[in-house]
Structure formats: C-alpha cells, structure tokens
C-alpha cells in the first residue's frame, strides 16, 4: 500500500502532489462505496475518532462524522459550547483527557490559526485540521480540487478563479495550495481590501474586475463574505459588494463560454451568488458536498494506515 508523506493533515501546504493524487485515487473507491445500497466498509472498526469542534459547522462536521461511520470507526463528538473549556480548561488538557479514553485520531475545527499544528506537536495523536481560523481548511481544498477533476477530467492546466473574501478565507489558501500542486492556473478576484498583502508571494494572478476574471476562467469558486471575522468595514455595503462581485445569471449567461460554478458553503444567497446561479446546471455545489464525504474517508483511511490501523 502506498503511504502519505505526512502523519497529520494540518494543511495542504505540507502535502506533495503524490499525496494529493493518492487521496484522490482512494476517494474514487470510497465514492463508489457511498453510492452503494450498503454504504459502509469495515476498514476502521477498531478505531475511535473524536471530532472536536470549537467553532460552528454544518457540512464539515457532518461530513467527517459520516466519513468515519462509513469506515466503521467509533465516533465521539465534542462541542466547545457544552464542554469544560467554558470552565477554563486548556486545549491541551481537554485533548489529553479525551485521548486517555483511548481515542486514536482527532478532527479539530478551531477559530485560532495554527491550533491544529500546535496540537499535532504537543499531543500523541493523529490530528486532522477541519479549519483553523483564517489559515487552512485542507479537506475543503482537497474536495474542491477533486470536484474539478471529476467535472473537467483533470485539474492540470485548468484556470480557476477564487472570488470574494480572500483575506479572511481558510478555504482560499487550501484551494490555492492544492490547485498549485496539481498544476492549475489560479487567480483571485475581489476588492483590494479583501485581497491579503501576502498574495504576491504565492505566484498567482490578481484581478479586481469580476467580468474579466470570469472571461478568463474555466471554474469560478465563489466565497462567502465572512462578516463574523470582520472587525472593520472592508466595503461600503453588502449591496454594493453584491453589485460589484456577486455572480448572477445575467453575467453568467453573457460569458463567451460555459464555466463551472463552485461554492464551499454556507451560501449567502443574493450576496456572493444569486439563487438562480447556485441552483443552475453550471453549479456543482452539491457535488462538492457529496465528494467531501469520499475525500474525508480517504484522508482518514490513509492517515489511519500511518498509525498501523
Ligand atoms: N464549507 C464549510 O466548511 O462549511 P461549514 O462551516 O458548514 O463546515
């Protein structure tokens, strides 16, 4: 069996192209499994996985839980809002207490960038980052690229534009690392105030005009405006943002080619994307969600192999 080059999934930045290709090949098999009448394999029936969510989530949390259950792992779920973290317990103490209960792997979402790496270096468990603040959301980057590969046959050479709030987005960074390693051409598009200054170091294109970005691309990945991470005003109003950077059917239909539309969710209908675009045949938003389970099964399965399961 081929193995990943990493012992944890903290970020796509740490992966090599062969890791991503191995995850995709493994996810292909699991996608076939989850579309069978019996959607389960016994691969990880001797494993226990804890999902530690210190921040809200719908898709990622359910997707990880389903992926773990489809692999026959035992699953425990932890929500910060109802835990002893509220009583002042440190993250390390919380996790070490959970690990004492013979947990083999930890999936963690946390509002602070770097928390997954911190945990992976200070505890004796395998850590999967389910989103750490504005840093990375590696399984989202992987499932997005997997969905492009499924839709267009490959990622190599495809032109992908990521549109919107790049500054506060962990999805953007994980998408950029994944797509770059697979040989795609990448552009980010949004108002200057929502494009981070470090973008020049990543070797990708920057465009501030939505129409030009859409004319250039094969795939447009629309991001949500992350108002919960914005402590100052980055644009005059949501209405103005939507007029400049929102994707609607009129602009989509006026392009010289048919592009693929993506969104990691949750969607703000009428802000970054209108309902008729989100629900159109060009949108692969729900395929992304379906693929998330297969990709997460692959990541868990391959990391479990590294700890001898
Ligand atoms: N895409 C994503 O991370 O969604 P959730 O915040 O609902 O998990």
Tens digit of pLDDT for each residue in 194-229? 999 999 999 999 999 999 999 999 999 999 987 777
59 lines ligand 1 (CB under 6 A): yes
Indicate which atom in ligand 1 lies nearest the CA of residue 63: 8
**Residue-level pLDDT at 237:** 87
Confidence label for 175 from pLDDT (cuts 50, 70 and 90): very high
The pLDDT of 158-184, averaged and rounded, is: 97
Give the residue, out of 52, 54, 56, 58, with the most ligand 1 atoms within 8 A of its beta carbon, to mutate for a pocket test.
Answer: 58
Confidence label for 5 from pLDDT (cuts 50, 70 and 90): very high
The two three-digit tokens of residue 107, written as one number: 């999936």
Q: How many CA atoms lie within 13 A of 58 on its CB side?
A: 5
159 lines ligand 1 (CB under 6 A): no
The answer to whether 41 and 71 are in contact (CB under 8 A) is yes
138 lines ligand 1 (CB under 6 A): no
The pLDDT of 242-264, averaged and rounded, is: 97
Task: Return left, alpha or beta for 40; rule: phi > 0 is left, psi -120 to 50 is alpha, else beta.
Answer: beta
The pLDDT of 251-262, averaged and rounded, is: 97
Return phi, psi of residue 182, to 5°. -95, 5
The pLDDT of 131-146, averaged and rounded, is: 98
The DSSP letter of residue 192 is G
The answer to whether 108 and 129 are in contact (CB under 8 A) is yes
Give the mean pLDDT of the chain: 95
Confidence label for 188 from pLDDT (cuts 50, 70 and 90): very high
**Residue-level pLDDT at 253:** 97
For residue 211, the surrounding DSSP H or E stretch is helix 210-216
**Residue-level pLDDT at 232:** 67
Question: E strands, 126-238, where?
Answer: 126-132, 159-163, 185-189, 205-207, 219-222
60 lines ligand 1 (CB under 6 A): yes
* Sheet strands side by side (includes 48-53): 74-79, 48-53, 105-110, 126-132
Give catalytic residue positions: 59-60, 87, 109, 137
Which range, of 1-5, 21-25, 63-67, averages the lowest pLDDT? Answer: 1-5
**Residue-level pLDDT at 209:** 98
The pLDDT of 252-260, averaged and rounded, is: 97
Name which residue sits closest to atom 4 of ligand 1, judged by CA.
Answer: 59
Task: Identify which has the larger pLDDT, 27 or 89.
Answer: 27
The percent of residues above 70 in pLDDT, for the chain, comes to 98
The answer to whether 59 and 292 are in contact (CB under 8 A) is yes
Indicate which atom in ligand 1 lies nearest the CA of residue 131: 3
Confidence label for 80 from pLDDT (cuts 50, 70 and 90): confident
Question: E strands, 48-114, where?
Answer: 48-53, 74-79, 105-110
With 0-12 / 13-18 / 19 or more C-beta atoms within 10 angstroms meaning exposed / middle / buried, residue 51 is: buried
Give the residue, out of 55, 59, 67, with the most ligand 1 atoms within 8 A of its beta carbon, to mutate for a pocket test.
Answer: 59
């Amino acid at each position: 069996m081929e193995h990943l080059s990493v012992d944890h999934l903290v970020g796509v930045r740490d992966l090599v192209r062969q890791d991503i290709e191995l995850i995709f090949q493994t996810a292909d098999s699991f996608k076939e499994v989850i579309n069978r009448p019996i959607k389960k394999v016994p691969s990880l029936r001797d494993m226990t996985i804890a999902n530690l969510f210190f921040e809200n989530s719908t898709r990622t949390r359910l997707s990880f839980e389903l992926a773990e259950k489809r692999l026959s792992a035992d699953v425990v779920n932890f929500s910060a809002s109802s835990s002893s973290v509220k009583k002042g317990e440190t993250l390390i103490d919380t996790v070490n207490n959970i690990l004492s209960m013979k947990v083999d792997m930890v999936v963690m979402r946390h509002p602070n960038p770097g928390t997954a790496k911190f945990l992976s270096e200070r505890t004796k468990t395998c850590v999967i980052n389910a989103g750490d603040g504005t840093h990375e959301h590696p399984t989202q980057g992987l499932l997005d690229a997997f969905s492009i590969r499924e839709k267009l046959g490959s990622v190599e050479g495809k032109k992908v534009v990521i549109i919107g709030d790049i500054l506060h987005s962990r999805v953007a960074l994980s998408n950029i690392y994944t797509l770059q390693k697979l040989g795609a051409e990448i552009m980010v598009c949004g108002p200057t105030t929502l494009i981070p200054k470090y973008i020049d170091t990543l070797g990708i294109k920057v465009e501030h005009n939505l129409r030009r970005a859409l004319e250039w691309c094969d795939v447009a990945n629309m991001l949500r405006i992350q108002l919960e991470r914005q402590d100052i005003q980055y644009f005059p109003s949501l209405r103005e943002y939507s007029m400049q950077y929102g994707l609607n059917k009129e602009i989509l239909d006026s392009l010289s080619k048919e592009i693929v539309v993506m969104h990691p969710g949750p969607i703000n209908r009428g802000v970054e994307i209108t309902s008729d675009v989100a629900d159109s045949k060009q949108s692969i938003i729900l395929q992304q969600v379906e693929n998330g389970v297969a990709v997460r099964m692959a990541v868990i399965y391959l990391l479990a192999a590294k700890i001898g399961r």
